[in-house]
Chains A and B, each alone.
Chain A
Amino acid sequence: MAVRSIEVRERIMATYDALAANVRSRLGDHGVPAFNLVSSPGSGKTSLLERTLERLGPELRVAIITGDVRTQNDADRLARVTDDLVQAVVTGGACHLDARQVLTALDAIDLPRTDLVFIENVGNLVCPASWDLGETAKVVIFSVTEGEDKPLKYPKMFRVAKYAVLNKIDLLPHVPFDLELAVRYACQTNPELRFFRTSALTGAGVDEWCTFLRHQVYTPVVQ
């Protein structure tokens, strides 16, 4: 029998890219910025969101989509500090959220009455870097307990992120972490990164972070 070759040459992610474009379009129609928070597990994404909601909750309508492999613990925590919608996506083993899940979550969010969306991705510095969720920007969070060389070890995540939050800075006196070296490594990977330094525990730096978010809501970046 004759074996022949059919040339295809199609991008495997094309379907997901189309879904991400759909998410981006829906958010854009209502002028709602969406930030995809990505990090390793335990960097303080949920804690930072708690502090953020405490500050912004009284003035902005903030919807949140959380992703976890198991449990809705993060969504439950966040629901305690906001009256707005917190959507939990349990991935059942998958190491990242994808645009299809975000699109489904958006169905439950009243976008005309929403100012800002956060997507708290599954804790993982590898896989979420490869998946466009239709977000305005990825925000990579890494904490001072993780080591300065995270940007060198996980360059793709730092390359695709637009913003970086160095969290748990209250622990700096207690851990051998060189903040400037961490920033230098991150800038080597992505010179365009904008940094925030926060402590979700003490609230240090959270005001600057929230000022940035307010600016994004009132003067959203044209995509």
Chain B
Amino acid sequence: MHEMSIALEVGRMAERQLGRAQIPLVVAVGLDVGDDAGVEFAALEFCMEAVLTTPPFTGARPVITRCTGDTLRLTYLEVDDGRPID
């Protein structure tokens, strides 16, 4: 089940992004996953939920968008940066 390897790598990539931006809370993690990426969608969602359990990811939801080809991409992080709404 290499979905866990992928989920862990997503976690590392997200941490690198957040390290630059000093974000306290992640709300959602967006992924594009191709039909031909060799990934089982439900398994990846399960593994992502297991990875997103520690701060700043606690409670973050994985949002997996199905696409064509072998795309496997971290597309966006939805974050709450603690600032009040403008």
Contact = CB atoms under 8 A, between A and B. Distances in A.
Contact of A130 (B2, B13, B21): B2
Interface in A1-20: 1-13, 15-16
A63 interface: no
Given A4-B78, A5-B78, A10 B73 contact: yes
Contacts of A7: 75-76
Given A8-B74, A9-B75, A2 B85 contact: yes
B75 A8 contact: yes
A31 to B, nearest CB: 30
Contacts of A95: 1-2
Contacts of B31: 12
B2 A11 contact: no
A113 B78 CA distance: 51
A95 to B, nearest CB: 6
Contact of A6 (B2, B12, B21, B72): B21
A131 B85 CA distance: 43
B9 A12 contact: yes
A214 interface: no
A7 B30 CA distance: 9
Contact of B77 (A8, A13, A127): A8
Interface residues on chain A, size class: 20 to 34
Interface of A is mostly: mixed
Given A6-B17, A96-B2, A130-B38, A11 B82 contact: no
Given A10-B73, A15-B9, A156-B36, A131 B17 contact: no
Contacts of A1: 80-85
Contacts of B81: 1-2, 4
B6 interface: yes
A111 interface: no
B10 interface: yes
A169 interface: no
Contacts of A129: 38
- Counting chain A CB atoms within 10 Å of each CB, the highest count among B5, B37, B81, B82 belongs to B5
A94 interface: yes
Nearest to A96: B2
B67 to A, nearest CB: 13
A3 B72 contact: no
B6 A3 contact: no
Given A3-B79, A129-B38, A9 B2 contact: no
- Counting chain A CB atoms within 10 Å of each CB, the highest count among B14, B79, B82 belongs to B79
A98 B9 contact: no
6 contacts: A2-B85, A3-B27, A6-B21, A6-B23, A10-B13, A10-B73
